[in-house]
Amino acid sequence: MKFATILLEGRQVVAFLNEENKTVIPLNDAEEQRTGNRPFPDEMIQCIEMGNDFLNHAKEVAVWANENPGVSVKVEEIKILAPIPKPKKNIFCVGKNYEEHAIEMGSKDDIPEHVMVFTKAPTTVIGPDETVPDHKDVSEQLDYEGELCVVIGKKGKAIPKDKALDYVFGYTILNDITARDLQAKHKQFFIGKSLDGSGPLGPVIVEKSAIPNPNRLNITTKVNGEVRQNSNTEHFIFPIEEVISVLSKGMTLEPGDLIATGTPAGVGKGFKPPRFLRDGDLVEIEVEGIGVLRNTVGKV
C-alpha cells in the first residue's frame, strides 16, 4: 500500500494513493461510509504509532474501497503533501554511503569505514511539487541529492542487524538539498543541510511488505529531464540493516523517525565545473517501487 498525506477540502488527512487510476482514497472517509466510524488519526505519525492495528485495519478498508470505487477522489482535486509534514525530530542522514559518491566528493581516502551520520532540521520538509527556495541571500551553491528514505515503525534501542527491518514501517524519497558553500564555510553539515524547504519528501510512504529488499532498488535523479544520478541501493556501503543497528546502539529510534540512506554519484558538486541548481530547475527523483518526487527551485 502507498500511504499519502493529502489536503482535501481544507482538511489534512491520510489516504491511499492509487497511481494506476490517479485517485486517492481518504481512509476515514472510506471507513465512515463502510461502518459509520472515523477511527484513523489525520496525522501520519499517529497512524504509524498504532503499529499493526493501523495496518491491518487500513488493509480492510482498502479491500472494501476497491470494491466501492465511489469513495475515491481524483488526484487533481487534492494536494499531496509530504507524507510526514512535520517530523518530531531531526532527519537522520547517512553521508557518503555510495563508494562512487565518496570518491567524487574527494578521493578513495574519503570512503568511510563506519556509518557517517548528520541531521537535517524538521523545518526543511516540504512536499512533492512544492518549490525549493533558492536561498540566494545565503547560498550560491544549492545542490540536489536523491535518496531512499526509511520510515521507522516502532520504538527500538540496541536493535540487532538481523531484526532491523522489523522496526521499519515503510519507505519514501528524500531530496537532501545542500548548500555546498555553507558546508565549506562552517566546516560541518547542519547549516548547509537545514535551510528551510531543503528537504522535499514523498510523494508517498510505501508499506515495507511491498518492498521485500530495500537494498536492491533502482534510484535515478533528473534535472530538467537530464539524468544526473543513476544507481541502485545494492551499492550501499552500509545496508539499511546496519544503519538502523548502528543508530540504535545508544539512541532510541521512534515511530515516524526518518533515515535518509545516502546519495549516489552524480551530484552537482561532482561535475567539473560544478553544476549547481538555478531558479526554474526541475528535479525529479525516482526510486523503484515508490514513485517520483518532483520539485522546482525558485523564489518562495
**What is the rounded CA–CA span in Å between residue 224 and residue 281?**
6
How many Cβ atoms from other residues are within 10 Å of residue 18's Cβ? 18
How many Cβ atoms from other residues are within 10 Å of residue 38's Cβ? 14
Taking the mean position of all CA atoms in its chain, how far away is CA 258?
7
Q: Tens of pLDDT along 219-258?
A: 999 999 999 999 999 999 999 999 999 999 999 999 999 9
**What is the rounded CA–CA span in Å between residue 131 and residue 177?**
12
Task: Kindly report whether the global pTM for this prediction surpasses the value 0.95.
Answer: yes
Q: Tens of pLDDT along 96-149?
A: 999 999 999 887 888 999 999 999 999 999 999 999 999 999 999 999 999 999
Q: What share of the chain is helix, strand, coil (3-state, %, to 5)?
A: 30, 35, 40
Q: Which residue has the cell 530538467?
A: 224
Q: What's the rounded mean pLDDT across residues 59-77?
A: 91
Helices 27-35 and 52-67 pack at an angle, to 10 degrees, of: 70
HEC profile of 179-201: EHHHHHHHCCCHHHHCCCCCEEE
pLDDT of residue 20: 80
pLDDT of residue 19: 82
Structural domain 91-298, CATH architecture: Alpha-Beta Complex (3.90)
- Residue 253 DSSP one-character state: B
Q: Which residue has the cell 494536494?
A: 79
pLDDT of residue 70: 85
- pLDDT above 90: percentage of residues in the chain: 93
pLDDT of residue 146: 98
Compute φ and ψ for 69, nearest 5 degrees.
-60, -10
pLDDT of 152 above 90: yes
Tell me the one-letter amino acid at 94.
V
pLDDT of residue 185: 95
**What is the rounded CA–CA span in Å between residue 223 and residue 112?**
28
Q: What are the sequence ranges of the domains in the chain?
A: 2-80, 91-298
Q: Tens of pLDDT along 157-167?
A: 999 999 999 99
Grade residue 18 by pLDDT with cuts at 50, 70 and 90.
confident
User: Considering the chain, what is the average pLDDT of its residues?
Assistant: 96
Q: Tens of pLDDT along 19-34?
A: 888 999 999 999 999 9
- Residue 6 DSSP one-character state: E
Q: How many helices (H) and strands (E) does the chain have?
A: 7, 19
